[in-house]
Amino acid sequence: MQDFLEKCFESILQGDKEGAVKLAKESIELQYDPLKVIDEGFVKGVKRVGELWEEGTYFLPELVLGAEAMKAALSVLQPILLKKNIQREKTSKLLIGTVQGDIHDIGKTIVATMLQAHGFEVIDLGVDVPNHAFVQKAKEQKVDFVCMSSLLTTTMQNQAKVIEELAKAKIRENLKVMVGGAPTSQDWAKQIGADLYAENAVEAVNVAKSALQH
């Protein structure tokens, strides 16, 4: 089985979506433990892809290809886990969007894809999301995280407004708020009362995972 897990790892490293799906299907036919295939094969691969990007070896499209391959493999294996009633490590439901007045899309989508690749259930509200829509959806879906992106100095204030509205709706204590985007920073996050700040997609996964452990 070690060789098989190695192939799963390699498919993610190569960003080979078709290969990863094929291996996921093969693992079902071979009746391998799906949890082992995910955690010791595919997840190991997506973690390594993140490291390779962070250390400056991989370029952004390579990081994305790895995450896309991971997502595709998970989509094959997750129904099997559900069917067998097997629980993976604790992950959560996460709401993400670009704040009102800002239509930057691609950075937010990369973050969403990376989080999905790491097993988070992601609800992507898109761009130019009204403040009340974040609050309404967070309430409706009982999410664990609200993640907001803002690429403009003129719109970053909306991150603060959403936090205020979450408090008014009495759900602020039930969830973590993560902010990101070029003009934001750790200091900004602290200033507006956000729990988490991430500079990039890999960091977003790391801080979300670490928040789950606390």
Partner 1 sequence: MLKILKKIDLTIDEEEILRLLAHHKRKEETIKTKLLNLIKETKALSKDMLHPQGMFKIVDKMALKEGPYFRGEDMIALGLCTIGDELENKVSQLNQQGKLAQAVMLDAMGSVAAESTADFLNLQVCQWCQKKGLGSSQRFSPGYGDWSLEGQRFIFSLLPAERIRVKLNPSCMMIPRKSVSFAIKIGEEFKSLKTKKICETCNLKNCPYRK
Site string for partner 1, 108-137 (x = CB under 8 A): -xx--x------------------------
Please identify which residue in 6, 26, 39, 105 interacts with partner 1, judged by CB under 8 A.
Answer: 105
R_g (Cα) of the chain, nearest Å? 18
Stretch that binds partner 1, among 38-46, 99-107, 133-141, 170-178 (CB under 8 A): 99-107
Q: In the bound complex, what is the minimum distance in angstroms from residue 96's beta carbon to partner 1?
A: 14
Nearest to 198 by CA among 138, 118, 128: 118
**By the rule CB under 8 A, 165 interacts with partner 1:** no
Cβ neighbours for 17, distance < 8 A, ≥ 6 positions apart: 65, 68, 69, 72
CB of 142 to partner 1, least distance (A): 27
Pick the closer one to partner 1 by CB: 30 or 106: 106
Residues 8 and 49 sit within 8 Å (Cβ to Cβ): no
Contact characters 57-76, partner 1, x per CB under 8 A? xxxxxx-xx-xx--------
Strands 121-124 and 93-98: parallel
CA distance 142 to 70: 26
Indicate which single residue of 9, 19, 104, 149 sits in contact with partner 1 (rule: CB under 8 A).
104
- Smaller CB separation from partner 1, 175 or 179: 179
67/120 Cα distance (integer angstroms): 12
Alpha-carbon gap, residue 98 to 137, rounded angstroms: 14
Residues near partner 1 (CB under 8 A) are 14-15, 53-62, 64-65, 67-68, 101-106, 109-110, 113, 152-155, 182, 185, 199-200
